[in-house]
Structure 1
Amino acid sequence: MRRSPLGSAVVNVPRNITAPVTGAVGRFFSGAGLLLRGLGLCLRSPRLMLLGIVPALLSGALFVGAFATLVYFVDDLAALVTPFADDWSTTARGLVRVVAGLAFLGVGGLLGVLAFTAVTLVIGDPFYEKISERVEERYGGTPGAVEVPFWSSLRRSVVDSLRLVAISALVGIPLFAAGFIPVVGQTVVPVIGAAVGGWLLALELTGAPFSRRGLRLPDRRARLKVDRPTTLGFGVAVFVCFLIPLGAVLVMPAAVAGAALLTRRSLGQSVEEG
């Protein structure tokens, strides 16, 4: 075991445990499968599902309203950022503003998903902590667990979430600009956005199980990088589900449960029921 620059412990795990040799594509789908396993755990325990849906409903209503407002004003925003097209022909002007509108909606979706997750995790911190703990108990408990006071845990969660949302905003700027590139902006950029969003979602959702082990954001980033395809598979699956209407509300408990499994796998701990 070694210490991170921030003083928290980082567990050294043999690479063959965290990243089995199944190929990057296989590990990607294995990561997506963790979300399905989380969903299965929640469906077998309806109380877990109810614990997670209540805070998701509260923040979901807020962000649905915010995104609906963006959709309502997207034409005005598109015109605002494309004044150079005012004198173009009707067809050319309309086309460039449709592209601009899609870019706004794409970046808004990326930021909305990450901000929704951050706010929901803060609102429902006690609920999601309980879901995560119950999942880990089912698979053998939490080795090296440390006692973290509620307010300290909440403060750390808020700080980490704000940091990740800020990163997503910085990434969103070049993605918005790239959205104006014909073809690339409508094909490659959404894929990059989903990958970035998936990675950041995985970092957000694994905060509680890593924190129970006394590990901070730099520690979980380092551990999840060891098997990046699995992490991306889980995160992208969550990201896509969160883009579906009501998907974020219904999938949130499963995402928390799956994140507990992802954490265990990244640390070389059992993800099989004994």
Structure 2
Amino acid sequence: MLKTLKKILGGFGTLDGATYPLKALITFIKNPGLFKYIAIPILVNIIVAIALYSGLLYFGWQIVDGVQSDLTLWLNQLIANLPQWLGFLSYIVSGLIALIRLCLIVILLIATGFLLTQFGVLLGAPWYGQLSEQLEKLRTGKVELVELNIISDLGRAILYELKKLVLIAVVGIPLLFINLFPGVGTLVSTVGSFTLTTTIVCLDFLDSYLERRRLPFRRKLAIVFKNLPATGSFGLVCLGLISIPLVNLITIPLCVASGTLFICDRVSRPVK
């Protein structure tokens, strides 16, 4: 009874899953020796961020401005044909345009942060792997490792990225078509795309631990779904952290560390 009540009050792990980046930060503070494992990944993130933010963010900002201009012109023309007594609608339209611009900027930052994570985690994998091993040793007192040769490791890494692309295509393409239907279709497409992005982010940050056991992609995905809603809140918080420019240079390693702690606590050693 007490265990069930604890689960209900904790949202069946929802609140606990969201706290793991903070738990990782506390672990770093208590174990300063871990910082050496994130020095090079942070440098890698800075290099990748310069390329992404100087390119993708610049052109993305132009697209946002273009969409805003077209939308403003269309809405102003629409209001111009309305009776004069409906002039107050211009204020509503201005607010609506500002809200749409804000949403577009948020989407742009999320997309840029997502790409930064994909490249940063991939390029920093050797150091993140060592960090994950140290965290597992701290948390459980041992490290489980399935040894493979370099060629096999490289092959698994490439295959993992390809399977992620397949997942994105299988889910993302239908969502694009659903988006063609205004109203409900747009809502479903937006929620679906956000859920897909959160799932991929969650997979990436749990992967340092899971890949060390050479688990197949479907098993990794099953672990994410089996541990909902904790994995959902974990992925959501991580997605927010990696979407903040400059701050994400540090939060990406933090989220990688929190993924290992999450698995150690909630998967390999089930919560009581």
SS of equivalent residue, structure 2 residue 147: coil
What corresponds to 1:76 in structure 2? 66
TM-score of the two chains, using structure 1 as the length reference: 0.72
1:202 touches 1:231 (CA, 8 Å); kept in 2?
yes
Q: CA deviation at 1:61?
A: 1.9
Deviates more, 1:72-81 or 1:239-248: 72-81
What corresponds to 2:86 in structure 1? none
What corresponds to 2:136 in structure 1? 136
CA distance in 2, matches of 1:87, 1:119: 44
1:51 touches 1:128 (CA, 8 Å); kept in 2?
no
Q: Residues 151 and 53 of structure 1: is their aligned pair in 2 closer, same or farther, counting only changes over 3 Å?
A: farther
2:179 touches 2:189 (CA, 8 Å); kept in 1?
no
SS of equivalent residue, structure 2 residue 7: coil
| Alignment counterpart, residue 7 of structure 2, candidates 22, 34, 44 | 22
1:42-85 CA-to-partner distances (Å, cap 9, x unmatched) read 33323234243122212222222222331133222456799976
2:7 touches 2:13 (CA, 8 Å); kept in 1?
yes
1:96-155 CA-to-partner distances (Å, cap 9, x unmatched) read 766665554444344333222111112112111111111112122233x21133443344
Give runs of aligned pairs for residues 1-274 of structure 1, distance below 5 A: 22-23=7-8, 25=11, 27-43=13-29, 44-45=31-32, 46-65=35-54, 66-77=56-67, 88-89=78-79, 101-102=101-102, 104-139=104-139, 140-143=141-144, 145-164=145-164, 167-168=167-168, 171=172, 174=176, 177=179, 195-269=195-269
The alignment's C-alpha RMSD in Å is 4.1
Q: Residues 253 and 38 of structure 1: is their aligned pair in 2 closer, same or farther, counting only changes over 3 Å?
A: same
Q: Residues 132 and 255 of structure 1: is their aligned pair in 2 closer, same or farther, counting only changes over 3 Å?
A: same
Amino acid at match of 1:152: S
1:179-219 CA-to-partner distances (Å, cap 9, x unmatched) read x759x96xx98776654433221111222211111202211
Q: State, as a whole percentage, how many aligned pairs show the same letter.
A: 17
Structure 1 stretches of 5 or more lacking a match? 1-18
Structure 2 stretches of 5 or more lacking a match? 81-89
1:111 touches 1:165 (CA, 8 Å); kept in 2?
no
CA distance in 1, matches of 2:231, 2:129: 20
Relative to total residues, which structure has the larger helix share, 1 or 2? Answer: 2
Amino acid at match of 1:22: K
CA distance in 2, matches of 1:233, 1:20: 20
Equivalences, count: 251
Amino acid at match of 1:67: L
What corresponds to 1:15 in structure 2? none
Amino acid at match of 2:23: R
Deviates more, 1:188-197 or 1:102-111: 188-197
1:17-44 CA-to-partner distances (Å, cap 9, x unmatched) read xx99613625112112221121222333
Amino acid at match of 2:142: G
1:114 touches 1:165 (CA, 8 Å); kept in 2?
no
CA distance in 2, matches of 1:174, 1:87: 29
CA distance in 2, matches of 1:150, 1:270: 32
TM-score of the two chains, using structure 2 as the length reference: 0.72
CA distance in 2, matches of 1:109, 1:150: 35
Q: CA deviation at 1:164?
A: 3.1
CA distance in 2, matches of 1:231, 1:55: 27
2:110 touches 2:242 (CA, 8 Å); kept in 1?
no
CA distance in 1, matches of 2:103, 2:162: 23
CA distance in 2, matches of 1:236, 1:225: 14
CA distance in 1, matches of 2:5, 2:121: 30
1:75 touches 1:97 (CA, 8 Å); kept in 2?
no
Larger Rg: 2
1:115 touches 1:165 (CA, 8 Å); kept in 2?
no
CA distance in 2, matches of 1:162, 1:106: 27
What corresponds to 2:85 in structure 1? none
